[in-house]
Amino acid sequence: MALADFFISLLTFVTIYSLFGLGLNVKFGFTGLIDFGHVAYFMIGAYVTVFVAMPAGLSETYEGLTGLGLATAFAGVPGGDLLGWLVALVIGMAAAALVSVLVGIPTIRLREDYLAITALGIATILNAIFHNERWLFNGAFGIREVHEPLSGAFPIGTGSFQLNLLLFGLPSVAILGYAAYRTAKVVRPLSVRPALLGTGATLALAGSVVFVITTMTGLVVDLGVFVLNVDNTIAFVLLVGSVVAGRAALTETDHIGALLALASALLFTLWYLGQPLVAFVTEGETADLLLNLFWLYDATAGSAGGLDYDRFFFLFTLAFLVGAYLWVERTVNSPYGRVLRAVREDESVPEALGKPTFRYKIQSLMFGSALAGAAGGLWAANIGFIDPTQFASTVTFFAYTAVIIGGTANNRGVILGTAVFWVINSGTRFLDDFFPSEYAQQLAALRLILIGALLIVILYYRPEGMLGEQDYDIDLGRGGVSDD
């Protein structure tokens, strides 16, 4: 798999989980509700969307309720399967919201810690039901008949190779360029010395990893027996150098965010473009480099290349994320959002001022759950197969971690935090290739140890997360007086 394909699939995951995280942020960040059962609405959204879209009798191994077949119901109209799927998604969101009301009405008045544990319990029970009751949605066997909207239409492209490259390749480069520009803006306040030290530290770190990887390929390493040889020593020295330079850089600047941005951008560039660049320079190999640069363009799709379904689906989910982001922003930047935050700070105050806080909390729960439901519908279409194990409680906990890393009550922070989380959790998966396969589980566990520790460290040193709580501004449209 080319790096670009991995990149696309990682981005799609981040997008879907960001949508999920936005829903959590509505509940947790803006309203202060600890819903440890958030994943239940993700699951319900996924299952209901699939169920409503799924035509009957597609498969003999499916023994659950007969699907409603909405995906084929509008077959007459152009794009009818998309329409049917969208309706299914809306129903999935509504189902998630409805279940959240049923859960919320008895539990939402409870103390915050009681709410957390009851929500966790209810989600666990719901998962057990989906797992055990085959008549419902095929139980543990899951559903394979997942409708993927518009998948028949792809890949798309014009007949001309050049035109396709222009059409899809240009935006790809433009987006990368824009990302570089934004990163540069973040990095700018950094003065020269710490910037150089940071660069050095990052390069040394990368070098050390590269050294370990390249010398270890094909070598059976036994954890616990670390052989001391020249390569290891070089890698170790580089690592120490990296730590020393990194510490120096950190102590010399107040712009820690800028420093981190610089390091991440460097690491990304090295990872994403370094390897193809080496291949290009040493062997004149251009394929990977082009593929990575023109990441929206898939040369192998169709006769003249074009946009394949995976890439389309990423853009599709991105559109949902942008829509949800604007929707949540509109909600919190309003007197309504003000009441939600007041509920978070001290429920008795808005209550004493005449705001029916119970209603606000229920609505917040519904809204957040509906967003989780939308994420679930997209998740199902992306994976193409769902079963209850995909919706374990850990998914909720990951989302909490992501939200807290990025910044609780900050919608951009949610997206940033989700990206950071999944880069740590999945982006480092390519490292697995360099270890014997029997260590895959260990490596996965190691990542989660890292994430758990990161969660605690962030809560201690920077409880407001990377970005901190967002600013609020209620837009009054034309003639709206500024707040000051």
Partner 1 sequence: MTEIQNPILDVQGLEKHFGGITAIGGLDMRVGEGITGLIGPNGAGKTTFFNCVTGALTPDAGRVAFADGDITGKRPSAVAQEGLVRTFQIPRELPEMTVRENLQLAPRGQSGERLAQAWLRGDEFADDERRVREKAAEMAEFLEIDHVLDAKAGTLSGGQRKLLELARVLLTEPDMILLDEPLAGVNPTLEQKILDRIHDLESQGYSFLFIEHDIDVIMETCERVVVMHQGQVLTSGEPADVKSDDRVIEAYLGEEV
Partner 2 sequence: MASAGLLDALLQGLITGMIIAAGALGLSLIYSIAEVPNFAHGDMITIGAYLALALNKPGAIPFVPEFGGLPLIAAGILGVAVAGSTGAIYEVAIFRRFRSKGADLITMVIVSLGLALVLRNVVLFLVGSGNINYDTERVTNTNVELYLTGNGLSVQTVQRQAGDLVTLGEWGYGWLSLLAIVALAAAVGIGVYRWRSDDASFETVHLVSPRIFGIASGITALAALATVLQGAPHTIDAAVWSTSVGVSIKYGVIIGLTLVTMLAMNLLLKGTKTGRAMRATADNMALAEIRGVNIDRVQLVVWVLAALLTALAGVLTGWFASNLNPNMGFSLLLPIFAAVIMGGITSPYGAVLASLIIGVSMDVGVFLLPAEFATYRTAIAFVILIGVLLVKPEGLWGDV
Given the rule CB under 8 A, which residues bind partner 2? 32, 34, 106-107, 109-114, 116-118, 120-122, 124-125, 128, 131-132, 223-224, 397, 400-401, 404, 441-442, 444-446, 448-449, 451-453, 455-456, 459-460, 463
Instruction: Find the shortest distance in angstroms from Cβ 110 to partner 1.
Output: 16
Closest to partner 2 by CB, 82 vs 443, is 443
Among partner 2, partner 1, none, residue 358 binds (CB under 5-8 Å by kind)? partner 1
Among partner 2, partner 1, none, residue 337 binds (CB under 5-8 Å by kind)? partner 1
Among partner 1, partner 2, none, residue 449 binds (CB under 5-8 Å by kind)? partner 2
C-beta of residue 216 within 8 angstroms of C-beta of residue 183: no
C-beta of residue 86 within 8 angstroms of C-beta of residue 100: no
96 binds partner 1 (CB under 8 A): no
Closest to partner 1 by CB, 78 vs 477, is 477
- Bridge partners (DSSP) listed for residue 386: 143
CA atoms within 13 A on the CB side of 406: 27
C-beta of residue 147 within 8 angstroms of C-beta of residue 50: yes
Q: Which stretch binds partner 1 (CB under 8 A): 64-72, 208-216, 231-239, 329-337?
A: 329-337
Among partner 2, partner 1, none, residue 456 binds (CB under 5-8 Å by kind)? partner 2
CB-neighbour burial class of residue 438 (10 A; exposed 0-12, middle 13-18, buried 19+): exposed
474 binds partner 1 (CB under 8 A): yes
Instruction: Find the shortest distance in angstroms from Cβ 246 to partner 2.
Output: 23
Q: Which stretch binds partner 1 (CB under 8 A): 50-58, 59-67, 446-454, 476-484?
A: 476-484
Instruction: Find the shortest distance in angstroms from Cβ 112 to partner 2.
Output: 6
Calpha distance 481→484 (Å, rounded): 8
Residues near 324 by Cβ (< 8 Å), separated by ≥ 6? 19, 22, 371, 374
- Backbone φ, ψ for residue 306 (5° rounding): 160, -155
354 binds partner 1 (CB under 8 A): yes
Among partner 2, partner 1, none, residue 346 binds (CB under 5-8 Å by kind)? partner 1
Interacting positions 431-470 with partner 1 (CB under 8 A): 469
Calpha distance 38→137 (Å, rounded): 20
Instruction: Find the shortest distance in angstroms from Cβ 414 to partner 2.
Output: 15
- Bridge partners (DSSP) listed for residue 427: none
Among partner 2, partner 1, none, residue 452 binds (CB under 5-8 Å by kind)? partner 2
Calpha distance 355→375 (Å, rounded): 31
Distance (Å) of CA 263 to CA 183, 346, 424: 11, 40, 14
Interacting positions 365-424 with partner 1 (CB under 8 A): 367
Closest to partner 1 by CB, 280 vs 327, is 327
Number of residues that bind partner 1 (CB under 8 A): 37
Instruction: Find the shortest distance in angstroms from Cβ 265 to partner 1.
Output: 32
Closest to partner 1 by CB, 453 vs 476, is 476
Among partner 1, partner 2, none, residue 330 binds (CB under 5-8 Å by kind)? partner 1
Calpha distance 265→181 (Å, rounded): 11
Q: Indicate which single residue of 129, 196, 352, 431 sits in contact with partner 1 (rule: CB under 8 A).
A: 352
Q: Indicate which single residue of 191, 345, 442, 457 sits in contact with partner 1 (rule: CB under 8 A).
A: 345
Closest to partner 2 by CB, 109 vs 182, is 109
- Backbone φ, ψ for residue 225 (5° rounding): -110, 100
Instruction: Find the shortest distance in angstroms from Cβ 24 to partner 2.
Output: 12
Q: Indicate which single residue of 141, 358, 434, 439 sits in contact with partner 1 (rule: CB under 8 A).
A: 358
Closest to partner 1 by CB, 284 vs 477, is 477
Instruction: Find the shortest distance in angstroms from Cβ 111 to partner 2.
Output: 7
Closest to partner 2 by CB, 112 vs 473, is 112
Closest to partner 1 by CB, 438 vs 475, is 475
Calpha distance 237→228 (Å, rounded): 12
The site for partner 1 (CB under 8 A) is made up of: 327, 330-331, 334-339, 341-342, 344-346, 348-358, 363, 367, 469, 472, 474, 476-477, 479-481, 483-484
